[in-house]
Structure 1
Amino acid sequence: MRFRSTGYTPLMLLAQTCALLGFACYAVVLKPLQEEWHLSNLQSGLIASAFFFGYMLAVPLATALTDRVDARKVYLVGGLSATSGLLGMCFFASNFWTAMLFMAINGAGLAGTYMPGLKILSDRIQSGELTRHIAFYTAFFGIGTGFSYLCSGWILNAMGWHSVFGIIALGPFSAFLIVLFLIPPLAHEKWRGPIKIAIQDLFPVGKWKLVLQDKQAAGFIFGYTAHTLELFASRSWIVAFLAFCVATSGESAFLAITTLAGIINFFGVPSSILGNEVALRIGRQRWVCIVMLASAVLGIALASSTGNSWWLILTLAIAHSIFTMADSATLTAGLVINAKENIKGAAMGLHSLMGFGGGLLGPAIFGFVLDISGSQTSRTAWVWAYSAIVIWGVLFVVYERRNGWADK
């Protein structure tokens, strides 16, 4: 089956939604796994972090390969890797260490699908405005993760945590099938002869030093790191937090907590796009500073809201999700615009690597602070845990304003 070049976008949006269905599986089953395997909060956070560790290990190779071979080939391997990681969690994971392994494989699979999927589009779209296709593709990250919460929660309630991973594995496998059968290969190979990738292709340290010497580009990269640390920590622990709210109030939520988590996540989709429009009018640096400070206030307010009305908790959770995502597109677009042309590719690679490095640290920091401040049964512990992940954005704003970045 053949499509016009613009017809590939709907297919890749569908594929990406399917590939991301495994994103929130662990967040949804965190509580039952913690009880069954007798995990500490730090161990629970480290399993969530293993997903981002796998992504960080695989993304340099995956992105380097897309410049040498058809990104479609990389995507197919990524889809199978994500499927294998989820099936491993279903059938073989039995403790902290095995879960770390299979979650890392799942994360490596995402690295093989997310950016290579974007490269599939950019290599094939010959007409129209490419940036519009890219904007939709990046926005669908939030849609895919939102459905991940919803579907995982439904399966957990009906069939148990093993089935969550086993059934959701059909998601990335479906993405594999969509690309295999509906996205044709490129007419001509990008690279002739044997493919050789040197260590400097994967980790161009020299170029990264030049990127970090550019105050404007470095500011957007460090801001993105603080952003992802807060974003992925809050997404990893939101279901457990909502469960604590149910236990504290003594009342059931008006919807299943995993459904609420999915709804909260969906609100981040338009906020990233609209936030970028606001940034164009008032200045990117100024908008980033406003958003990070507002997100910090809302995160602590959310953590302090336990025991109150569900409508207040949900309102604060949605507001926190909106402001956590409101600078996402702004930070990435700011880097692309400000990075020098001769090192722009290296700058984007470092941006992605450090961003998911923040994602690796965030869930573990959150769980560690929960452990040392009273565990999940303490309201104060949740306030300290949320404070531990939002403080990085505040520190970034304070430092960069003194450094002059925010005044540009």
Structure 2
Amino acid sequence: MPTIAGKINCTPLMLAAQICALLGFACYAVTLTTLQAQWDLSNFESGLIASAFFFGYILVVPLATVLTDRVDARKIYLFGGLSGVTGLLGMGLFANGFYSAFFFMALNGAGLAGTYMPGLKVLSDRVQYGEVTRHISFYTAFFGIGAGLSYLISGWILEALGWEAVFEWIALGPLTALLIVWLLIPALDKPEWRGPLRIQVGDVFPIQKWKMVLQNKEASGYIFGYTAHSLELFASRSWLVAFFVFCTAYTGEAFFLAATTLAGVINFFGVPASILGNEMAIKIGRQNWICFVMLTSAILGIALAAATGQGWWVIALLATGHSIFIMADSATLTAGLVTSAQPQIKGAAMGLHSLMGFGGGLLGPAIFGFVLDLSGSQESQSAWVWAYFSIVIWGVLFVLFERRNGWSSRKPKSPTNS
């Protein structure tokens, strides 16, 4: 079907689609305790259902992104939107226990795999003017808006209509994203996309292309940095509410907002942090900015955990600062990868970037919880310090390793096209 758009600015449309596609991101997190009680799930089973989202993402993202080197990424996006809609509707209409929920959450994660990085390729293929990294930084930063709205809207629906309605109504999000890209984003036709499309096993895990990506020292640095960044980010998002609850119990002083609301509000600070962080990186050099941000984030993470027992405003301020600096290099890492990867393997590079990033996201919450149990459980202040240490140390190690091995600190180029 032809699009109804001609020559238009695709960036605002892709930002809107990004928000809509991400509305299913936190549905399960919001409904977890309700489903755990209703289905009599163990904590391990509940955690596995949450992990199913990332399992589905990791399973699909290599193929989805590599295919963007061979077809218009817009086509991949449409399949991703359909998968997200199916997964969310399946959860609301058919899920009745562990196995069905695991399946439908994996479909939901596969939907994100088909929309997030392919959506970035849709955008980068169509940007023909200005500093391309600015468009990329807005796109990646809007992940925070979509995720934050997912927490808030899912919570409102749960309170008003019940857990089934959360998934059923939120399914309108990826459906809207699909329609935006289908109807409003112009199709492209490049010579390298013509001819028959043959999918082989090597397309799913393109080892040779990934080796070529990793041989590029600059590109591989951004990928490993994104892995450390994602590990800290997703661990922090997973445990921040529990940390606020512990702080309230420890001091007996309630926060000015509910723990879930405060965590959601703090999440929004990542949006300007990511955008402005990329602007700083353009001025002082991407690698210099990334190293500064990761070290500062580590300091703030430890300070946050050590501040237990202080007033609520101290905790809230440090949590906001930590969130800001976690996100301050997000767009820079992705933009750096996009602009440093060779054009003929850019899709494979983006696939590896996303795969390792969400792999870090899978590990982060588990590492945090393991260290928390190992060092004294949730009732111990020192345990929280060690748990935060266990997730921020990866960024520090990354900085030390890359600086020692000569990761370039030169000022980045400012191309007008990717």
- Bin for the TM-score computed over the shorter chain: 0.7 to 0.9
CA contact (8 A) 1:51 1:108 kept: yes
- Aligned mates of 2:80, 2:348 — CA distance in 1: 22
Q: Which moved more, 1:94-103 or 1:272-281?
A: 94-103
1:207 Cα deviation from its structure 2 partner: 2.8
Report matched runs for 1:268-307 at 5 Å: 268-307=270-309
Q: 1:284-307, CA deviations, whole angstroms, 9 ceiling, x for partnerless residues?
A: 323222211211121222233344
Structure 2: gaps of 5 or more residues: 411-418
CA contact (8 A) 2:305 2:384 kept: yes
Report matched runs for 1:348-367 at 5 Å: 348-367=350-369
- Aligned mates of 1:216, 1:192 — CA distance in 2: 31
Q: Which moved more, 1:100-109 or 1:249-258?
A: 249-258
CA contact (8 A) 1:225 1:355 kept: yes
Q: Structure 1 residues 208 and 63 mapped into 2: Cα distance closer, same or farther (>3 Å)?
A: closer
TM-score with structure 1 setting the length: 0.87
- Aligned mates of 2:232, 2:73 — CA distance in 1: 30
Quick one: which of 83, 86, 92 aligns to 1:84? Answer: 86
Q: Structure 1 residues 261 and 163 mapped into 2: Cα distance closer, same or farther (>3 Å)?
A: farther
CA contact (8 A) 1:31 1:240 kept: no
Q: 1:177-216, CA deviations, whole angstroms, 9 ceiling, x for partnerless residues?
A: 3334444555799755542122333322123223323433
Partner of 2:181 in structure 1? 179
CA contact (8 A) 2:270 2:327 kept: yes
SS in 2 for 1:176: helix
CA contact (8 A) 1:148 1:262 kept: no
Quick one: which of 126, 146, 150 aligns to 1:144? Answer: 146
SS in 1 for 2:8: helix
Q: 1:369-406, CA deviations, whole angstroms, 9 ceiling, x for partnerless residues?
A: 33444444444443333222112112222322333337
Partner of 2:42 in structure 1? 39
1:155 aligns with 2:152: no
1:48 aligns with 2:50: yes
Q: 1:341-387, CA deviations, whole angstroms, 9 ceiling, x for partnerless residues?
A: 56544333322221121112222222333344444444444333322
Structure 1: gaps of 5 or more residues: none
- Aligned mates of 1:133, 1:283 — CA distance in 2: 18
Q: Which moved more, 1:316-325 or 1:64-73?
A: 64-73
Partner of 1:212 in structure 2? 214
- Aligned mates of 1:299, 1:379 — CA distance in 2: 14
Partner of 2:349 in structure 1? 347
2:146 partner letter: G
Report matched runs for 1:6-405 at 5 Å: 6-33=8-35, 37-40=40-43, 44-124=46-126, 131-183=133-185, 185-186=187-188, 191-192=193-194, 194-340=196-342, 343-405=345-407
TM-score with structure 2 setting the length: 0.85
1:71 Cα deviation from its structure 2 partner: 3.1
Deviating 4+ runs (over 6 angstroms): 187-190
CA RMSD of aligned residues (A): 3.0
2:42 partner letter: L
Q: Structure 1 residues 406 and 72 mapped into 2: Cα distance closer, same or farther (>3 Å)?
A: closer
Q: Structure 1 residues 210 and 181 mapped into 2: Cα distance closer, same or farther (>3 Å)?
A: closer
1:322 Cα deviation from its structure 2 partner: 0.7
Q: Structure 1 residues 153 and 258 mapped into 2: Cα distance closer, same or farther (>3 Å)?
A: farther
- Aligned mates of 1:65, 1:342 — CA distance in 2: 12
- Aligned mates of 1:43, 1:364 — CA distance in 2: 14
- Aligned mates of 2:266, 2:99 — CA distance in 1: 31
- Aligned mates of 1:157, 1:242 — CA distance in 2: 21
The number of residue pairs the alignment matches comes to 407
SS in 1 for 2:255: coil
1:365 partner letter: I
- Aligned mates of 2:126, 2:266 — CA distance in 1: 34
Identity %: 70
1:254 Cα deviation from its structure 2 partner: 2.2
1:39 partner letter: S
- Aligned mates of 1:328, 1:247 — CA distance in 2: 33
1:150 Cα deviation from its structure 2 partner: 1.6
- Aligned mates of 1:277, 1:324 — CA distance in 2: 16
